[in-house]
Amino acid sequence: MTLFLPALDDAPSPLYSIVAWPPEALDSWLRRLQDRLNVRGFGLPHLNVRAPFQTSLRSAELVGVCRDALRGQPAFDVQVRGWKQLPGVIFLECELSPELRALHDRTLSIEPSTRARYDGPEYRPHLTLALGVLKWAEPILWEELRDLTPPVTQFRVEALSLTKEHRGEVQELHTFPLLDPRPLPDTEPVGSAPPSAEPAPS
């Protein structure tokens, strides 16, 4: 059964997410920008495939359920559209392609789990730059960002990751390789591994 937040029980529960990592050039650029503007997102920069959720499953059980849900999932391309701003958050919005919509819907079959507001019809794929932005700071940050163009505006996702957040720390639990109908020999995959937690060089 799918529930809406809060948690499934009274005890604090970790938050799990299904994400895709951006290629190194985009990841490094976003983290340098975060450092310069003194802002942060939820963990390392990532493409949200499903919003953070809670479940009564143990981590090992959840990995198995996710593997079943993602079995046969092909690799896909992501188009970065540009900056968007909502109250308290600034992000790079991505194109909601039919492939990404179908993938998001598949991840909603991972149960039992809670459901967030921006899952389902309200799903908006993005890479968060800043969360918890104070109202007075929003126009200042927007003025800094609105004319900036990211170094990468399209990338291919060849793997998805299950992450776990507990007490403020985000960890990658498992990586799920995707099927690629268009393999590129002798080319390093992008979006296939989590970026290093080391600060990006400036």
Residue 64 lies in a domain: yes
Q: Report yes or no on 200 lying in a domain.
A: no
Burial class (CB in 10 A: 0-12, 13-18, 19+), 188: exposed
Helical H segments across 44-158, by residue range = 59-70, 98-107, 138-145
- The pTM for the full model equals 0.83
CA distance 49 to 161: 10
Amino acid at 21: W
Candidate from 65-74, 81-90, 152-161, 191-200 with smallest mean pLDDT = 191-200
Q: What domain count does the chain have? A: 1
Question: Which pLDDT tens digit goes with each residue over 36-56?
Answer: 999 999 889 999 999 999 999
Pair 129, 67: CB distance under 8 Å: no
In terms of residue numbers, what domain contains 69?
Answer: 15-177
Tokens found for residue 121: 């019809």
What CATH number does the domain containing 28 carry?
A: 3.90.1140.10
20-31 tens-digit pLDDT: 999 999 999 999
